[in-house]
Each structure stands twice: as structure tokens, then as C-alpha cells.
Structure 1
Amino acid sequence: MMSRFDSYRAVDEAVGWIDRSSRSRLEISGPDAAKFLHNLTTNDIKRLPQGRGCEAFVTSPQGKTLAYISVLARPDALLVRSDPDGLALALPHLRKYGVFDDVTLVDRTEDSREYHLAGPVCEAWLASVGGTAPEADDLAFVVTRVLGRDVLCIRESPTGRSGLTLIAFGSDASELGEALRSASSGPVEIDAETFEALRIEAGTPVFGREATESNLPQEIGRDDRAINFVKGCYLGQETVARLDALGHVNRIVKGLRFEPGAPCPPPGAVLEADGKRVGVVTSSAFSPGWKSCVGLGLVRVSHSAPGTTLAWVGAEDSTSYAATVCDLPSRPPLEAVPVAPLDGL
């Protein structure tokens, strides 16, 4: 069985892949599709050209986060993607406001499959099996054939490494995963725990962890990718604009590195400074690259400077462990990645 070390190193040196089919996929079609989604999200959907994509937040009337999404502008529809169950709050919201526009919403999660390739040679591998990669822009995409199947190929980097996502629909969907597994000289399959470490190092948020309905969009730290502050009115825009005028949020998602040998704190573990609560851990995983646990956390801005040492307390033994705040992304230098598997991996 492939070790976590092997799959982690493959993403730095070659190419790895992971099945992300549990993510949510929603198709929005109809003549009003772009206008409809534009009026309910933080980014400029109406100006999104075909073959391009963007990140966005679906916001409530109060400006709170209902979903963290990516939007792809296809010729006949918009494809909206989010994390597993990441549209649970947004879908009823979208259906409610969809009655005012000529749009059709179709959940494509069950009849499609999604696979992510990550690593410096992912594009070369794609070409070797007949596929064509999209242009270099983030979330640019093309329709191509991979291993004899029609797929949507999207350029994106949830691991912080060069990446391409393949999405297949219908009969091609059920066959693509097996084709990837059986491909000669194919990419290494990445286990879920290793992907989680890579995601955390990259600072890629997940809805339900870093982004929840209690968050304001700016707290997630994706302003440059997911929020257009000059697009005009949309539902929740007043709160987002007011916060932008104030100049800062009170808390923000930051990277965390934990001391070697310490356990990984569970999501929800409280972060403290001088005995006072200053944040909460949202995600954590063991990183083969850092040889310790890494995490993401929602931290008060007053304690968010890189290098700030915080503490969290283990639930089982009441031991206090150190957590160091770091900027994102937080990748270890390649030379720091071990050249042999670590014990226990």
C-alpha cells in the first residue's frame, strides 16, 4: 500500500490524483442564469467569459456566508461547485430567489465524478493520455478527452501545487476513476489524510470548517479571489461593503503549525493567549513535509501576526500544547521533505 510519504512527495515531484466526487455540483441554466447568480454572490458573474471561472461566496441578506463556491461559465450553463454538502444552505436560498428569474437549477452531484491531479508534471501526464490542458488562468477550463472519456478539465490548485481537475458526466463518469487507477505510468493515488495536509498548507478553505454561516466573507481571507467590491448591488452587499469601509475584520483564517510530537487538535479546539480565548482550530492534519501537525484556525486579528505563539489544551490529558501562527500558504521547502518514509506513515 502506498505510504502517506509517497503520495505527499509525488505531489511535489511528479503527479498525484484524488477522487473528489463527494463535492457538490450544481448546474444553473436559462437566459437569466448569469444575472441570477450575480445578484446572490460576492463576485462579478455577469462579466465572467465562457471558458473561465471564479470563486465567490453566496451571502444571506445579513451578509453572512451561506456557501463558498467556484463558478464555471460554460456555453449553455453555469457549473457551481462546492465542498461535500457545501450547498446545503445555499440551495434552498437559490431556489427561493430563482422564482424571479428564468433559470433552471439541476443538482449534478450524483451523475458526475470529479478527480483532481496535482504536481509539476500533471499537465505533461494529461498530454500523454491525449488530453488538452486549459490556459494558465486560475479556473480556466476546456472540454477534452482523457483516457477515451469526455471530461471538463479545470485549472485549479487546492493543494497549492500545479493542479488540474477532471469532471466527467453520465456514462463517462463511472469509468473515469477506474481508467485513472489502471493507467500505465499513471499518477499516484493520494489518500484523504495526505490531501487534507496539502489543503491546509495551501490555505484552501472548506465550507463547514473555515467558512460557516456564522462567518462574514472577509474573515475567510479570499477577498482577492472571491469578492468584487465594485460590482454593484447583490443580496448581502451592504454588510460586505460596510466591513470593507471599516478596513479590517476582527478575526481571520490563518495557518497554524504545531510542535513536533504533539497530537493534532480536533476542529473546535480553543486557541488561547495568556489564558484568554483568541481563536479556534478549524482543520488539522499531520504533514509529512513539516514532520508535525499543521492546521487552519479562525484567529483574532490582534493575535494573528506570523510567529505568534498560542496554546491549545488536549481534551484527554489537559496538556497544553503550542500553536504558532503562520502566513498562508505554508509549504515546507522541498529539501525539508523526507527522502524516506517517516515512522508510522
Structure 2
Amino acid sequence: MSTSQTEQALPTSPLLQRPGAVVGTGRDAGVAAHYGDPHREQRLLEEGLACVDLSHRGVLTVTGPDRLRWLHSLTTQQLVGLEPRQSRETLILSPKGHIEHALHVVDDGETSWLTTEPGAQEAVRSWLDSMRFMLAVEVADRTADIAVLGEPVGTESAAGEPLAWVDPWPNVVGDSTTYGPAEHPAAGRAWRELLVPRAQLEDRVGSRPPAGQWAAEALRVQAWRPRVGAETDHRTIPHELDWLRTAVHLHKGCYRGQETVARVHNLGRPPRRLVFLHLDGSGHTLPEDGAELSHDGKVVGRLTSVARHHEDGPVALGVVKRTLDPGAVLHAGSTSAAQTLVVTP
């Protein structure tokens, strides 16, 4: 089944019937981009009052006694010994160490629940199935009956509540390292994703105001939080995005792509680096995701995620050459952009 067929098969989110809902496009098609006032929605999220419809995310389960040991052997993070309701973020890399998928993992003691970027669940399920061999594991796609709901809460769900994946960003998880400044602007950030039966999604939201993807993405950009399909391309390695801090264990057993992770960590710096950008907002429009970034007439990188923050105005994440002067003013077309280091040169 193709990605487009998988996405089309999903039920329409009931939250799109809320007043003012405007349907998202691109990677966030199928849920609301906003409900009429993206800046207010950002403020409500920061205040812990709103929630975000993430029902377009893929949901997989892995069952069987070998599930955690098996997932541990295939991906970048330490998963053996994961306790019920504990969360981890882990990456699937190519044989050359390039990021293919990011998995949000939470185990309930009998089943490991994985969520993926929208539409990626079929590719992940197919690859996991191809790697089962003789182990006692079963992989199932639960996207059609389980939805994801994001909320600004930083704690595990309690007994009797829906299972929740708690985002570790920007903490250093396990035996890992950072490639950015010691003082991270997102320290203390709270975010989790509840796994809710689709039929109960609207009831779970209740009277809380919903916030759209524009609000959630603006806060993600402000937190320097990378996202597969946005900050990544076919040659991205975790070091370029400071993604080792939450998703990569540096001293675990072999997994696909480990050689690249170890070599870059031990011998040098990554060829590119993530930057946070303040954009000139004097124009009527902003550059789009994917726009080229240039300096002195030469292309030095690309914009990856562009947003309007309710306090800081137009902001973005971008990936540039490691050797670029950190003080250089960049341009995306006619829009100038000032760098803040996310990954140090």
C-alpha cells in the first residue's frame, strides 16, 4: 500500500469540525493547520491549556517477549529494560548512517507502541517485518483505530489514563552527548503524545481549546526540535541536528548505521549543522520550507522549517555547511536571516 493510500484510508478527524478549523497541507494534511488564531493557539499551548490534533501520525504495535530486545538491536537508542509507561525516542538509520525514520516508543508491559511521521507507518512496518527472522515478535498497524493527541504535559500518564509518549527533548538520554550549547533554550519543555482510541478522540479533548499545527510547529522551531521530513534529507546524520542528545546511545550493541555514528563522534564534526534563524519580517510573505540559503551569492544551505512565533516573529530552522561563519547574515531570496548556533562548528 502506498503512503497516499494509507493516508486516504484514515477517518476524517472530528476536530476539523470545530469552529474556524482550516485543514493543513503537505506533511500535516488531514488535521487542522489552525482554528482561526495561530498566535493565540501558541499562547494557550505555552500556558498548558490547549492540545493538538496529531491523529495523522502513524501508530504501530510490536508484541511478543522479544519485542524490546529486537527493537533495541535495530535502532539507535537503548530499549532493553524499558519499564512500563517509560518513553524513548529512537532512530532507524540507513546502512550509511543517514536518518530514515524517528520512532516515538512507549511500552505498556506487554506491547511496545510506536508512532511515526504521518504516512511513514507502512514503510516502517514493512521494514520491521522484513527483520523479524526467528524472533517471537509481531508487528501491527494500528493507525486506523488509534489516534495521537499532543499536549503540553511532561509527565507519564497515570494508571487509568491513555498511554502517553513523553518527549525527552532537549534532555540528554542515557549514554549520549550534545553538539550544541550547554544552555538549551528549551530546557524544562513539557510535551507528551497520548494514544487514544479514535472513537474517543473528541471526548478526550473535551472543553480544552484545540491548537493547530501552525502553533505546534512554531513552538517546535523555537525549541530547536528536529523533525524527520523537515530537517532531514537523504544524507542527514543525527550529529548535524544535535539529535544524539535524545535518540542515540553511544555504547550499545551493533545496529544499522552505527559505524557512521561512531566514526563522526570519535573522529570529527558533521559536514553540516542545524541553525536557528530570525527572519526579516518586513516583507508581506516569508520564504517557504526548502528555500535555498545563500551568503555572498553562494548557496550555503536550505531552510527546513519556517514559522511565525507569537513573540519572536518570523523564525526558522535551517541546515548549513559546517564551515560557514556563525556570524554571517544569510539570505533566502530577498529575506535576510540571522543565525543562532544550534550545532557548534
Which TM-score tier does this pair reach, normalised by the shorter chain? 0.7 to 0.9
Indicate the percent of aligned positions where both proteins have the same amino acid.
Answer: 26
- C-alpha deviation, 1:158, in angstroms: 7.4
Pick aligned residue for 1:64 from 67, 83, 98: 98
Asked if 1:188 is matched to 2:227, the reply is no
Asked if 1:203 is matched to 2:224, the reply is yes
Pick aligned residue for 2:340 from 317, 320, 326: 326
Uncovered stretches (5+) of structure 1, i.e. residues with no partner: 124-132, 135-140, 146-150, 314-319, 330-345
1:252–1:5 Cα change, 3 Å = same
Matched letter for residue 166 of structure 2: R
Matched letter for residue 325 of structure 1: Q
Q: Write the distance in 1 (CA, Å) between the matches of 2:44 and 2:307.
A: 18
Asked if 1:83 is matched to 2:111, the reply is no
Q: Deviations over 1:12-70 (max 9, x none)?
A: 33411111011111111112211211111111111323321111110122222120122
Q: Equivalent residue for 2:193?
A: 165
Pick aligned residue for 2:53 from 16, 19, 28: 19
Q: Equivalent residue for 1:312?
A: 332
Asked if 1:4 is matched to 2:32, the reply is no
Asked if 1:238 is matched to 2:259, the reply is yes
Pick aligned residue for 2:85 from 37, 40, 51: 51
Q: How does 1:244-263 map to 2 (within 5 A)?
A: 244-262=265-283, 263=285
- C-alpha deviation, 1:112, in angstroms: 0.5
Q: Equivalent residue for 2:163?
A: 152
Asked if 1:275 is matched to 2:275, the reply is no
Q: Write the distance in 2 (CA, Å) between the matches of 1:180 and 1:216.
A: 36
- C-alpha deviation, 1:308, in angstroms: 3.5
Contact 2:272/2:321 (8 A) holds in 1 = yes
- Secondary structure of 2:42's counterpart equals helix
Contact 1:143/1:153 (8 A) holds in 2 = no
Contact 2:121/2:141 (8 A) holds in 1 = no
- C-alpha deviation, 1:210, in angstroms: 1.0
Pick aligned residue for 1:73 from 100, 107, 114: 107
Q: Write the distance in 2 (CA, Å) between the matches of 1:116 and 1:158.
A: 14
Uncovered stretches (5+) of structure 2, i.e. residues with no partner: 1-19, 21-35, 171-185
Matched letter for residue 311 of structure 1: H
- Secondary structure of 2:65's counterpart equals coil
Contact 1:72/1:80 (8 A) holds in 2 = yes
Pick aligned residue for 2:320 from 274, 279, 299: 299
